[in-house]
Amino acid sequence: MFRYQSLEDCPLDEDEDAFQTLGEEDEDIDQFNDDTFGAGAIDDDWQEAHERLAELEDKPATARELEDGAVSDEMELLGHHEENLAERLSKLVIENELEDPAIMQAVQTQPPMQQPGGLNSSIWDGSAVLRRFRGPLLTQEMPSVSVLEYAMPQRPPQSQEDDRDLSERALPRRSSSPIIGSPPVRAVPIGTPPKQATVPNFNQQILCPKPVHIRAPMQQRYPSPYGERMSPNQLCNVPAGRMSPSQFARVSGLVCSPLTSMNPKLLQGRVGQMMPPASRFRAFFGAPPPPAPPPSQQQHPLCPGSHLQNLRPHPQVFRPDTTHLHPQHRRLLHQRQQQNRTQHRSLNGSAGDRAGHRSSHHEQLRKDPYANLMLQREKDWVSKIQMMQLQSTDPYLDDFYYQNYFQKLEKVSAAEEMHGDGPKKERTKLITPQVAKLEHAYKPVQFEGSLGKLTVSSVNNPRKMIDAVVTSRSEDDETKEKQVRDKRRQTLVTIEKTYSLLLDVEDYERRYLLSLEGERPALMEERKQKICDMYDNLRGKTPGQERPSDDHFVQIMCIRKGKRMVARILPFLSTEQAADILMATARNLPFLIKKDAQDEVLLCLLRPFSLVLYHLPSGTVTSLLQQLANLPQSATVPAPANLHLAAVLQNKFGLSLLYLVLSRGEELQNSSAAVELMQDNQWTELMSMATRELLRIPEAALAKPVSTPSNLLSLFSRYVDQQKLNVLETKLQLVQGIR
Amino acid sequence: MGVSPPPQPFSRQLFYSFFKSLVGKDVVVELKNDLSICGTLHSVDQYLNIKLTDISVTDPEKYPHIGRLSVKNCFIRGSVVRYVQLPADEVDTQLLQDAARKEALQQKQ
């Protein structure tokens, strides 16, 4: 186009020619201009469109009343379009998981029970339902416009301008886009609110979206079960009984969506459909319907202020959400809701001033520009995708915390009730549907014709990012600290391994119940083996017969989670093994006490210890006491002060343990095996030692035990005279009355 | 037939399960933009998106436009949450530890 290389080349005397050629070019340019900007342009100026929208804002909402005849035409055409749409969208079908109640709860449209085709239904089958139900709902509903619907058939009363509006507003079909994969060309930019006002079948007016902060977080449309097809009048009139008034006082545009769920007339139309709203939000406050809504229920128009006064307590606040709630959880929530409701009810006096806000509020409701951007089925489709991801092959594992937490709660509450009148509530179980595991062989994306594979890394296909090489430290470099640290680390690793075993063992009961008869012996064997492994881990595996050192065990006991783990393991161990543990603990008690000063978690061991003690024979009990007092097997001259015992006495755990041992001894004495114990010199010696120490220790230094067994008094009475007995009594508060 | 979406990875399910048990409790959510919102946990999903009801901005009300309105509900996208402060007695730490251990075991397999 440029004939001249540079400006210098342009000869001045050729100006005329140049201008002429330029003139020719100008003509071309003009034509181009026209095509781009002028009359030839097909594209609409979005700014212009926007201004038109602004004008529409002021037009009154004349489109309230439905014209049934026109609407039904409309509906049929809509249905026609929906069918085409459905065909197209069926290509996007997701494997239908209709059997899963969790998923189906998330969607509003329920596919009909009988499939015409008889094949697996697609998730888009909801449309058939929609169409079918349109009949009875016609009198109440207005169709909403979906951005996917285009080239809406024009209704006769519409003006020419509206025709143009609609065509501009519509989107071209996805699949008809000439370039496959390119985004659909939009005449109107995405996000422009639909223009509606003059068309009666659009039930909402456009309001230029207000820059209200509160709107921003609430752009998410909570899908209502009936697709916002109610007229705004109806929306406002639906009783708001289930909502706490203060909670939805200012929620713009969304107050009435929850209310739609309670419209009983709509419920009638949905035969056999007990579909709670997908949105938990609305569900929480909108509490969907009982399965058979009484047809006689009339919606009575409420004045705005009466929103607050008309709080109907609902007997069953069904909380339908996308997950199953454990019955216990549901009960707790229900209680909580009721509490809130009573609170709010008492605040009704202050509700009067809110009435004024309500009218403007309703205005906003009608003019929500972002309503109905998606069809209900589209929302359902998205919900289904999300819900399908949550299908689990093993709900026990996947949802471990939740299920176990509420099981525990129930046990606790059941236990409490047992003490009272007896179990009032049934023990309800949470049953989560389980899905067979599908093998998802992840294949990384490949393009045809490309050389090699793309390096795409994702959650399912992680790539190695760093080449980390493990270097082992040489022995020479180790300092004492490092050794200590390593030892501690090793202990930690041992604890974790043992914990895994423990969790497995705890799980066996459940597995046992689930397994077949033939598998059970094998399971038992496994369990036993694991218990042995655990014990070995605890005590440190020594090939020799003796267990020379408690070192390993003590190391474990120095760590807080180690102690807790031992407490949990003890019930699974055999009596000898448990006694062994007990001995080791008693032997090293002062050391452990010192180490436990920070954690104070030794007390968790008391309960399992006491359980073990219950099973111990007298000989063991004696040796246990010996350990506590730190006396070697052979009798020695007792030292003036037994430091070991003293330390034990000064610690809560130690003292409690001592009491338990003594109490057990006393029990044994009273039982048939008492004769042995009485004759046991060791026992007598130990007892005198113990009493001596107890007497010696100042009361202030004595720890407070967890509980003082009642038979101690009779125990001491055997070994000390009356005077000392009295001293002991007061010191240890052995008699109930003293406290 | 269409393709079904793959199940959630284990690492997500622990926290989802945990937060589910906290539904209905009062929590304080601190976001990555330093905003702290106190409210009742209404619901949570597998992405840990949180819906709160009865919200209020804790401590200094630097965001008065939220503070002025009476009762509010909000939706918080999971990825913007920095912390969630919980009531201590609603949490069973031992169970949580067990759940974490189980999950670690599963991931190794």
Task: Judge whether B73 and A251 are in contact, CB under 8 Å.
Answer: yes
pLDDT of residue A363: 55
Q: How many residues does chain B have?
A: 109
Which of A120, A250, A401, A505 would you mutate first to test chain B, the one with the most B CBs within 10 A? A401
pLDDT of residue B104: 85
Identify the closest residue of chain B to A91 by CA–CA distance.
Answer: B2
Q: Is B80 on the interface with A (CB under 8 A)?
A: no
Q: How far is A400 from chain B (nearest CA, A)?
A: 6
Residue A259: pLDDT band with limits 50, 70, 90: very low
Q: Which of A94, A332, A500 sits opposite B101 (nearest CB)?
A: A500
Q: How far is B91 from chain A (nearest CA, A)?
A: 9
Chain A residues closer than 8 Å to B10 by CB:
398
Residue % of chain A over a pLDDT of 70: 44
Identify the closest residue of chain B to A340 by CA–CA distance.
Answer: B54
Distance from C-alpha of A446 to C-alpha of A453, rounded to nearest angstrom: 6
Say yes or no to pLDDT of B48 above 90. yes
- Of A56-60, A217-221, A251-255, A606-610, which one has max mean pLDDT? A606-610
Contact A220 B95 (CB under 8 A): no
Type of residue found at A645: L
Task: Judge whether A227 and A375 are in contact, CB under 8 Å.
Answer: yes
Phi, psi of B19 (to 5 degrees): -70, -30
pLDDT tens digit string along A450-494? 776 666 677 666 777 788 887 776 666 667 888 888 888 988 998
Distance from C-alpha of A487 to C-alpha of A541, rounded to nearest angstrom: 16
Helix, strand or coil, per DSSP, at residue B71: coil
Contact A404 B1 (CB under 8 A): no
Task: Judge whether B45 and B75 are in contact, CB under 8 Å.
Answer: no
pLDDT of residue A548: 62
Region A380-404: mean pLDDT is 83
Which of B12, B20, B53 would you mutate first to test chain A, the one with the most A CBs within 10 A? B20
User: b/e for A4-22, b at 16 or more Cβ within 10 A?
Assistant: eeeeeeeeeeeeeeeeeee
Distance from C-alpha of A415 to C-alpha of A259, rounded to nearest angstrom: 40
Q: Which of A120, A281, A392 sits opposite B73 (nearest CB)?
A: A281
Regarding an ipTM greater than 0.90, the answer is: no
| Range in A199-208, A317-326, A473-482 the model is least confident about | A199-208
Identify the closest residue of chain B to A500 by CA–CA distance.
Answer: B101
Q: Is B53 on the interface with A (CB under 8 A)?
A: yes
- B51 bridge partner residues: B43, B75
Q: Is B64 on the interface with A (CB under 8 A)?
A: no
Contact A390 B7 (CB under 8 A): yes
Say yes or no to pLDDT of A92 above 70. no
Q: Is A603 on the interface with B (CB under 8 A)?
A: no
Say yes or no to pLDDT of A22 above 50. yes
Handedness of CA A208, A210, A216, A220 (dihedral sign): negative
Query: Number of A:B CB contacts under 8 A?
Result: 135
**Better pLDDT: A340 or B19:** B19
Contact A247 B98 (CB under 8 A): no
pLDDT of residue A547: 59
| A118: its two tokens | 């008889």
Chain B residues closer than 8 Å to A460 by CB:
6, 9
Q: How far is A77 from chain B (nearest CA, A)?
A: 28
Chain A residues closer than 8 Å to B75 by CB:
217-218, 220
pLDDT of residue A267: 36
Chain A residues closer than 8 Å to B109 by CB:
none
pLDDT of residue B18: 92
Q: Is B12 on the interface with A (CB under 8 A)?
A: no
- B84 bridge partner residues: B29
The DSSP line for A684-738 is HHHHHHHHHHHHHS-GGGSPPPS---TTHHHHHHHHS-HHHHHHHHHHHT-SGGG
Phi, psi of B75 (to 5 degrees): -120, 130
| A109: its two tokens | 């449209």
Distance from C-alpha of A245 to C-alpha of A312, rounded to nearest angstrom: 12
Phi, psi of A92 (to 5 degrees): -95, 15
Q: Which of B13, B71, B98 sits opposite A503 (nearest CB)?
A: B98
**Better pLDDT: B56 or A56:** B56
pLDDT of residue B64: 64
**Better pLDDT: A683 or A637:** A683
Distance from C-alpha of A51 to C-alpha of A122, rounded to nearest angstrom: 42
Q: How far is B99 from chain A (nearest CA, A)?
A: 6
Q: How far is B34 from chain A (nearest CA, A)?
A: 17
Q: How far is A438 from chain B (nearest CA, A)?
A: 9
With residues binned 3-state (H G I as helix, E B as strand, rest as coil), the percentages for chain B, rounded to 5, are 35, 30, 35
Residue A220: pLDDT band with limits 50, 70, 90: very low
Type of residue found at A249: A
Distance from C-alpha of A415 to C-alpha of A435, rounded to nearest angstrom: 33
Q: Which of A277, A254, A235 is nearest to A110 (CA)?
A: A277
Helix, strand or coil, per DSSP, at residue A636: coil
Phi, psi of B74 (to 5 degrees): -150, 160
Residue A8: pLDDT band with limits 50, 70, 90: low
Q: What is the β-pairing status of strands B36-44 and B50-57?
A: antiparallel
Contact A389 B43 (CB under 8 A): no
Distance from C-alpha of A486 to C-alpha of A491, rounded to nearest angstrom: 8
pLDDT of residue B27: 94
Chain A residues closer than 8 Å to B51 by CB:
280-281
Distances (CA, A) of A271 to A102, A268, A295, A613, B57: 20, 6, 12, 65, 44
Contact B9 A405 (CB under 8 A): no
Region A389-402: mean pLDDT is 79
pLDDT of residue B81: 95
Q: Is A292 on the interface with B (CB under 8 A)?
A: no
pLDDT of residue A571: 85
Residue % of chain A over a pLDDT of 90: 1
- Of A376-385, A480-489, A507-516, which one has max mean pLDDT? A376-385
Residues 6+ apart with CB under 8 A from A405: B21, B92, B95
Say yes or no to pLDDT of A404 above 80. yes
Say yes or no to pLDDT of A447 above 80. no
Contact A284 B7 (CB under 8 A): no
Contact A397 B102 (CB under 8 A): yes
Contact A92 B2 (CB under 8 A): yes
Q: How far apart are the first and last CA of chain A?
A: 110
Burial of A202 (0-12, 13-18, 19+ CB in 10 A): buried
Q: Which of A383, A336, B97, A539 is nearest to A328 (CA)?
A: A336
CB atoms within 10 A of CB A190: 10
Distances (CA, A) of A415 to A140, A331, A335, A423, A512: 52, 17, 20, 8, 25
**Better pLDDT: A463 or A356:** A463
pLDDT of residue B76: 94
Average pLDDT value over all residues in chain A: 62
Distances (CA, A) of A200 to A155, A196, A237, A365, A380: 10, 8, 20, 17, 26
Count helices and strands in chain B by DSSP H and E runs: 3, 5
pTM passes above 0.80: no
Contact B95 A401 (CB under 8 A): yes
pLDDT of residue A413: 84
Residue A300: pLDDT band with limits 50, 70, 90: very low
- Of A58-62, A350-354, A445-449, which one has max mean pLDDT? A445-449
Contact A386 B2 (CB under 8 A): no
Region A110-115: mean pLDDT is 46
Region A658-678: mean pLDDT is 70
Q: Is B45 on the interface with A (CB under 8 A)?
A: yes
User: Which A residues 34-73 touch B at CB under 8 Å?
Assistant: none
Q: How far is A95 from chain B (nearest CA, A)?
A: 5
Q: Is A382 on the interface with B (CB under 8 A)?
A: no
| A673: its two tokens | 């095996």
Region A253-277: mean pLDDT is 38
Distances (CA, A) of A34 to A1, A27, A30, A41, A601: 21, 10, 6, 7, 85
Q: Which of A146, A162, A142 is nearest to A154 (CA)?
A: A162
Q: Is B87 on the interface with A (CB under 8 A)?
A: no
Distances (CA, A) of A321 to A16, A428, A461: 80, 19, 32
Distance from C-alpha of B100 to C-alpha of A563, rounded to nearest angstrom: 19
The CB-side HSE value for A157 (13 A sphere, CA atoms) comes to 10
| A104: its two tokens | 């189906």
**Better pLDDT: A538 or A290:** A538
**DSSP letter assigned to residue A434:** -
